[in-house]
Structure formats: structure tokens, C-alpha cells
Structure 1
């Protein structure tokens, strides 16, 4: 969430930022005007409330003076005035809450401010490649897509998954199921033993406040799966970024605790609203999928350095797996709502003859921290500051499975197991149809 004080002091910066994110000048200016008008209405009302409270206090003293002076008529007049003021204040406090809520909603739907070095653009076509790593496999046969390989092996079943749950679900069996589990375990071991992340097993259900804190609410409500709970509701996590980041919600951490680095392997649940017709075959875009998440909590001075570090940690997963990939920086029009800058890592898929996203690493500045009221106490300074938050995939397990299947397939339809995964597969070096 953006700071209303900052908006008032930097209105042109907000307009430019909204324009960079695809708003027209008229739309950006209208958005700014609406936020400022709501803040002005709130400030005016608070001023009127303060004046009323001051007059009530003064009138109450005057009542005592009038009573001591024997001026009963004046005292009654003042009592009547105080009664009217009390009524105004009571109604005014309800109005204050309404104006606060309206301003908060207007601020809550404003996207984060892109960093100056984020490339300008409208779509993924305008993203800028930073580097390409690894060699694409050379195959002397026509490579198959993962769903063709999985179904031919008898280990990937979309038809029965649809009977159970509907579209965009998958049943994995046998060695493919173990391979997906091996990938997740390998990633967790790498990030915890070599990259310094602390493993966390968080809840899979979260409240609205947690979703608001990381920016899923109110803007992306239709992407979530909700369930009733104790007279309210909870949502299945769209990513473990939500519970991990909210672990510092409404807390003040000491500076020497930073950076806090956490990782988790969890199922994730997304309704994929707005993705009709995209990636309908296979398991590239699912309602339920496993992902290893990386979350960092830092101070303002080190968050950009941490972003590069996090990206490198995610890239290392693909290097160890021997997968070719490229890393791009997202343009302003393709970047997520809460991000200031995002690196996408795209793995090469021979079956699709294309690079596809497998990780997205974002630095959010204090945008999420303001929504969560998450702070740190700087060393040798009075007061507190908002922490900076970062999140990334380290990496999406299902997409890593797809990448391994397509890059390590052979002409017979078998799949060679990357060496780094063989200890997790009981020494198995190849998957073939039983």
C-alpha cells in the first residue's frame, strides 16, 4: 500500500507511475484526484471533529462557571449546546470510520511504484532478457510434450482427475509421482543447506487480513478459493508467500534479525480466473500445484541486493538439474500488482519449442509491509521503519517436472533422471513404461 502522505507530496510521481503501468494520463490523473479528494474529505471531517471536541470541553467548563455565578439560564443554554455537540461527535465518529474505510480502499487498489530501471512496456513482448544459461538439448527425434509422455507411460492421468475434481487437475502415479516429490525435496534441501533459508511448514488456509497484507485482496479476490470458517471465511493459499510473509505481520523485529529468509514446499490453489483457453492441455496451468516458495524480509538498504541473491538461488535449482533457461526483467505492463521489480526465470521446453516461466522473483519494497504493519527497529535510531519484503518461486515443482520430462526424454518415450535427483529416487536412473 502506498503512503497517503507520500502521494500528497509526490502527486506527479504517482501519475507517471500509473502511466508506466498502462493507465492513460486521464485515468491516472482521475485516480490521483479521487484519492486526494477522499483524503481531503477525511482531513476536513477530522478537523471539524477536533473543533467540536474542543468546543465541548470549553462549554463544559463554562457550565461550571455559570453555575458558580448563579446564572442558571446560561448554564442551561450551554448544557443544550454540549448535548448537540455530543450528538455530532457520536455521529462524526461513525462518519470518520466510513471515510477511513473509503480512503483505505482507494489506496488498497493502487499498484506499487515501479523502480526507475524497470523497462517500459505493455506486455511480455516488451520484457528484457538479462541472460541465457545452459544449452538446449539436441534431439534426433521429434520431442513430445509432457502430457504425451506422461499418458504414454501410464503415469499421468487427466481424465480421471477431471472425474474427481474437474478441469485443470492431474493425477500422477508411480515413478512420476515420486519424481515430483523428489524435485520438491531436492529444492528444499538446496535452499536450506546451501542458501540459508529456514524451512517453514505454514497453514494452507489463511484469513482475509493475511491476503490483504500481501496484496491478493481486494484486487484479486476472483483468483482465490474460499471456504466458510467459524462464521467468517478463509481461503486456500494461492502461494505460500501469503503465510510466510505474514509471519512478521503487526510485529517489530530488531535490525540484527534481518534478513529473515524462509522457504516452504506447499500445495497452491488458484482459480486461474481470466485464463480460459490458455494451456488447456497438460499440467502447465493447474488449479492445484506444488511450489517451493522463497520469502525474504529485509531493510530498505539491502532489498535490491537481496533480489539479485534470491534470483540466483532460484536459478541454481535449474543449473543443478541441467536445464537451459533464460532470465528476464519484466516490463511495467507485465509486472505484478505488488512488485517494484520482477525477474522471471523461463525454462526451455523442447516439446513446446519455447521458454516458459518457472519462477518469478519480486522485490516489493515496503508496499506489503504497510498493509501488514510490519516494522523493524533500526540500530542506534529512534522509532521504527517498515521492513522490505521479497518473494520468489524456488521453483514451481510441477513446471520443473514438466521441464525434466521434456528435456530428458528419449526416442523410446522414456525419461532419464537427472543425476542430482537420483538419490531421491532410490538410485533409479530412467523412467520407462512398466
Structure 2
């Protein structure tokens, strides 16, 4: 597909996603015909298919599951499903998985490693009961991706291996033992657990040694990190500036420096500029904080794991599955707060391409402007056909210059925050 056709296809996809109703979305999809072959759309809905257990819920022990949508049901659109709907009832297989983030494993680890009391507290048993269900699938993807770059010596590798072994115990919990004894153990033998953990870490070493993989991973992490650096730079430089002024600075950065307007980061910026450190995700970000850049780095991984959920929707882990629905299990209330800022109305993608199109469930311009005049000004300045074309033309340059962009932002923030710039 040439670039012009790709842009036209994505504009059609955007029209479907931004429809005022599911009926209108179906009409646009139908009218587009073969132009949208291979394109898939998932809409949040009050009625429709249930995406496995990849839905929002909160446990009494503080853990929460968050998906990309704020509804328990979804409606899907694609050529095959629409064809089946017209001939009767559409039935399609799905796959799903719930990722455990690093903090979730840290909370659960003592109960499977002998470091805590054997019998589970009532509130924690609720989480284990859920994980242990035969129809619940959990995975260690966030931890593995976050730690690929940390396999730098034997000590680090040993620590990572130990975590991966905990993941395997959590993935293979003995349900009967859990119910009868209130204790967490695996149905696998120690040699089998060891073998699985070794397979995980072997894949991580292979990924670490794959230049293309590590470059892609590094770029996606730095891309999110740069947005957080700019948010902190704006807030710490002028905490009393107007919200409109702060948002305009952020939009200018997204447009001129990053060559893309990202909704999720924009929603986060708005909340931060309004609430400052009262937004707990940024609660520790302040001037004079010696570990400021380490904190922002950890926040970047957290936010990137949410972005990973969007990208994961384009995956097809099970060959027979028509759709894959990811979710995240975490004990991190700060991260839950961030996810809840930006629920999706829809997410679209083209099969074979890991470029999801997430669409906010609300008026995106309400996030960036106060008042109709400001909305109109922002639309003209940043969303004209010329502005979009300019960002599109400059985007590859951002990928090649991301290191310089990152270092430049770190230098500026170190001067404003009065802390040392990180060494690379």
C-alpha cells in the first residue's frame, strides 16, 4: 500500500471510529466496501460480546483490572463478521490475556515464595482465586519488556529469573489446593517451573541481542518519556501559569518536536496541569528531587504499558482467534488513575500492522481547550490538512533524533528542577 492510499484508509477508519452511533459506523463501513478489507474495529458498548475476563474490576485487596474500554461489552466490525451478521448470527472466537505489572508481582510474590505466612489473607485470596481460574489467562509481558535492558550481569539476570519463576507459579496455580488450604502453589513440579522460567529468560536474552527489537522498544519508551519530561518542564517552570497557556505549550511541543498529537498523553497533561502534585501519578515530581529522572523513567514505563495494551489489540496470539483483548492487573492506584483518564470509545487497526487507532470516549477538544473560541483556534492551528501533512512528513525524523530530543529535554528540566542531569 503506497503512502497516499494508507493515509486515505486511515482517514476512513477514523470516520468509522468517530461515528455518532454504531448504526452510522456500520453504514460508513459498508459504503467503504473493499477499501476497509482487513480493517477491524472494536467499540465500547452496553450490549454485545463479552471480551473474556479482560474487563474492569476492583478487588478488595487493592488490585484492579483495567482494559482499554470502560464497558463490559464490545461490538466489533470487520468484513467477515458483517457478512456473518447479514446471513444470520455472527459467532467468532476471541483470545484475551491479563498482564500482571511489576508491582502486582511484587505484592503477590511473598505468598508464593515462602517469604510470608503460608495462608493467604482474605483480601489477597480474592485475587489468587481469580488468577487461578482455568478460564483466566495471565501473562508477564510488562515485566519482560521493562527488564530486557537490565540483563547486564549475572546478578541482575538471577533476580529477573526469580521473578519469572514467580510469574509461572501465578500462571499455574493449584486451584484445589488454594480452595482447600488457602495456600498458593503451582500444579507444576519444581523442574517444570524451572524449565518454563528458563524459557522466558532465554527469550529475553534473544530480544536483548536483537538490534531491531531493542531499537524499537527503546524508541517507544523514550517517546513516552519525552512527553513526561515536557509535562514536568512546563509545570515546574511556571506552576501558576494559566491552564490554557500550559496546554498550548504542550500542544506546540507535540506538534513541532514529536510530530504527533497523542490523546492519552494530552489527557494526562491536562489533569497534571490542573491538579499538580494532587494528581498522585505526579505526586513525587518536584524541584530539588535528587531522583527526579529515575521517577520519571519509572512513570514512562507505567504509561508505556498502557500504550502496550493498545498495540496488543493488533496481535493474534491464537491463530483461530478473530480478536484479542488485553487488560492489566495492577496494585498501583496511581496507574489506575491514569488509565481511567482516557477510556476508549473505539480502537481500530489493520491486520498485519501494529498501528492501533485509539479513539477517546468523549470530546477530545474539551481536553485541550476551554471555550469554543479556543477550540476553533486549536483546530485551525494544529489540525488543518497542512498541519497534519507537516507532522506526517517530519515523523521519521523524530525516530532518528529521539536520543537528541531526550537529552535536550533532560538538560532543560535539570536546570529548571535544580537537579543533576542523568548520565547516559
Q: TM-score, normalised by structure 2?
A: 0.24
Structure with the largest fraction of strand: 1
Higher relative contact order, chain-length normalized (CA < 8 Å, sep 6+):
2
Q: TM-score, normalised by structure 1?
A: 0.24
Structure with the largest fraction of helix: 2
Structure of higher CA gyration radius: 1
